[in-house]
A and B are shown apart, each in its own frame.
Chain A
């Protein structure tokens, strides 16, 4: 096993991690501010990917597609919030789970209706095609590096937004005491819609960025959604910092587990068995890590 391969896998893990962060940041923000669990967050990811793929193929520009994905996901999020989500804030979590589960059915079947069951493809923009050399003699896809860069900039941007701006101040105030900030004359309904649209836009961005690496299809949001849940549970629901740490942790552990476990087991078991058991164990690894973390810290690493 060469160093280059190891570095490549680590970068892949990081790339998965920052994508999970984009999803998890929205989820955790929405939970932190509005106390809402949103299963349909994966649908917003899918909407972002579809918007990007369709606009990019119509205009020929990935960048316009990327903007379209942000706009489409934010708009879908805002509409969803005004029509449905707003009625759920005062309800218990069971009602929230069910209503957003219903939204998933509507979004998934709706987009299958509109776009068919076939996958769409999204090309990597020419500017970011090609590879960069890695130390140790390997090559790494430039696009994936750019994705990591976008993820890190969003994390920094989000930090600045929440800790330095007036909107961020209101978001933090909303997290600690929503009655109080409403009493202080802040339009809490608009704030909620803005936060929801912001989370949706982040999910849409993640969908569009990943769409160029994989295919764009109905149901693409669900595996990511569940991983994002694992991330925010590990990180502590409501904490952006927790989402970042959890996302990087989950991305790296998942990728490295799939890479290293079969190889490690091969040292003690016959090759065919090692591959099989290794793959099965690797697919369970992050859930085992989650269970371990929760056994010691039931409210996550950075409980809010």
Chain B
């Protein structure tokens, strides 16, 4: 039952930490990159899990925030590199904390109107509208030539952090891992807080929540914005990992993948996104090594999980979720 969940969570956290250490020991630094990819995708999905898992808001447009975060990192770094100010004389920067802050702030600013409009609707409408907003930003990015258009935008070097050599794989992994753990702690705090209780109540019975004097709209909007901020931070890290912000980060496939991560791992579970990201990157790598048509098999696996194995990996490992 639920008592097993903390153990499973600890094991997953340790397992993710162990991958790069083992990789270093056996001299295969490539696996560190895979582990970093897992940590970043998991971070993005933890963000989405606030809206989707706790609030039941099926956002099919979170790629918008993932991509925005990525573009913030790449655009600021490009301006810092060529010395041209952004606008109003604001210079670019290669400092990660500044980039993270800007990425989070911009995602919050953009998520606010998107959320406010989308949350006027519910159900299927909400799914399609968030998708449409993400597409709007996607099309804007590919038709706006100043920052690479369809080609995307490269970073010349990985952005920097005081006291840490981010150009090396292991320190960069540790940064991403630390941020992931921070995000998980935040998710845990939110879930246990009064706000979290209201958010889950909004999912379960919005009418009843209004009856006790809490407006579901405000709760949902706050959750949507927080969720976007976390996913945006992950996007900034992802651009730094690949040293490239590509329009595909904004594409609807990305939005789908983020949802897939949560479902593979277990919806609404603290470590669901981590388990999902591990499984996903493992599939991508293992199946991708066997056949270049790995997405075909991913589709079959996903279909099997949705139809027959509800609850995802954590449901399998740690039993059914307790109602909360």
Q: What is the bound-complex CA distance between A112 and B135, given in angstroms?
A: 24
Chain B residues contacting A280 (CB-CB under 8 Å) are: 140, 143-144
- From DSSP, what is the main secondary structure of chain B's interface residues? helix
Q: B132 to A230, Cβ gap below 8 A?
A: yes
Using A87-B307, A97-B127, A105-B298 as known contacts, say yes or no to A112 and B120 having CB atoms under 8 A apart. Answer: no
Q: A229 to B131, Cβ gap below 8 A?
A: yes
Q: B256 at interface (Cβ–Cβ under 8 A)?
A: yes
Write the nearest CB–CB distance from B185 to chain A, whole angstroms: 26
Q: A93 to B295, Cβ gap below 8 A?
A: no
Q: What is the bound-complex CA distance between A106 and B293, given in angstroms?
A: 10
Closest residue on chain B to residue A108 by CB atoms: B295
Write the nearest CB–CB distance from A289 to chain B, whole angstroms: 10
Q: A150 at interface (Cβ–Cβ under 8 A)?
A: no
Chain A residues contacting B178 (CB-CB under 8 Å) are: none
Q: B136 to A288, Cβ gap below 8 A?
A: yes
Q: Which of A37, A102, A276, A299 has the largest number of chain B CB atoms within 10 A?
A: A102
Contact pattern, A 99-131, Cβ under 8 Å of B = 1, otherwise 0: 101111110111011000000000000000000
Q: A112 to B293, Cβ gap below 8 A?
A: yes
Q: B192 at interface (Cβ–Cβ under 8 A)?
A: no
Write the nearest CB–CB distance from B306 to chain A, whole angstroms: 4
Using A102-B306, A106-B300, A226-B252 as known contacts, say yes or no to A97 and B136 having CB atoms under 8 A apart. Answer: no
Q: How many residues of A contact B (CB 8 A)?
A: 42
Q: B300 to A291, Cβ gap below 8 A?
A: no
Chain A residues contacting B133 (CB-CB under 8 Å) are: 287, 291
Chain B residues contacting A106 (CB-CB under 8 Å) are: 296, 299-300, 303
Chain A residues numbered 1-60 whose CB sits less than 8 Å from any CB in chain B: 31, 37
Closest residue on chain B to residue A93 by CB atoms: B124
Q: What is the bound-complex CA distance between A276 and B125, given in angstroms?
A: 32
Chain A residues contacting B58 (CB-CB under 8 Å) are: 93-94, 97
Write the nearest CB–CB distance from B294 to chain A, whole angstroms: 8
Contact pattern, B 206-249, Cβ under 8 Å of A = 1, otherwise 0: 00000000000000000000000000000000000000000000
Instruction: Report, as a range, how many residues of chain B touch the other chain.
Output: 35 or more
Q: What is the bound-complex CA distance between A192 and B247, given in angstroms?
A: 38
Closest residue on chain B to residue A109 by CB atoms: B296
Chain B residues contacting A291 (CB-CB under 8 Å) are: 117, 129, 133
Which listed residue (A99, A109, A290) contacts B303, Cβ 8 A?
A: A99
Write the nearest CB–CB distance from A117 to chain B, whole angstroms: 10
Chain B residues contacting A110 (CB-CB under 8 Å) are: 296
Q: B129 to A290, Cβ gap below 8 A?
A: yes
Q: What is the bound-complex CA distance between A283 and B302, given in angstroms?
A: 32
Q: A233 at interface (Cβ–Cβ under 8 A)?
A: yes
Q: B75 at interface (Cβ–Cβ under 8 A)?
A: no
Q: B139 at interface (Cβ–Cβ under 8 A)?
A: yes
Q: A266 at interface (Cβ–Cβ under 8 A)?
A: no
Chain B residues numbered 102-159 whose CB sits less than 8 Å from any CB in chain A: 117, 120-121, 123-125, 127-129, 131-133, 135-136, 139-140, 142-146
Q: A98 to B259, Cβ gap below 8 A?
A: yes
Q: B60 at interface (Cβ–Cβ under 8 A)?
A: yes
Binding site for A on B (CB under 8 A): 52, 58, 60, 117, 120-121, 123-125, 127-129, 131-133, 135-136, 139-140, 142-146, 252, 256, 259-260, 263, 267, 293, 295-296, 298-300, 302-303, 306-307, 310
Name 26 interchain pairs, CB-CB below 8 A, sorted by A.
Answer: A94-B259, A99-B302, A101-B256, A101-B260, A102-B306, A103-B299, A105-B298, A106-B296, A109-B293, A109-B296, A109-B299, A113-B293, A230-B128, A232-B128, A279-B143, A280-B140, A283-B143, A284-B136, A287-B132, A287-B133, A288-B136, A295-B120, A298-B120, A298-B125, A299-B125, A300-B125
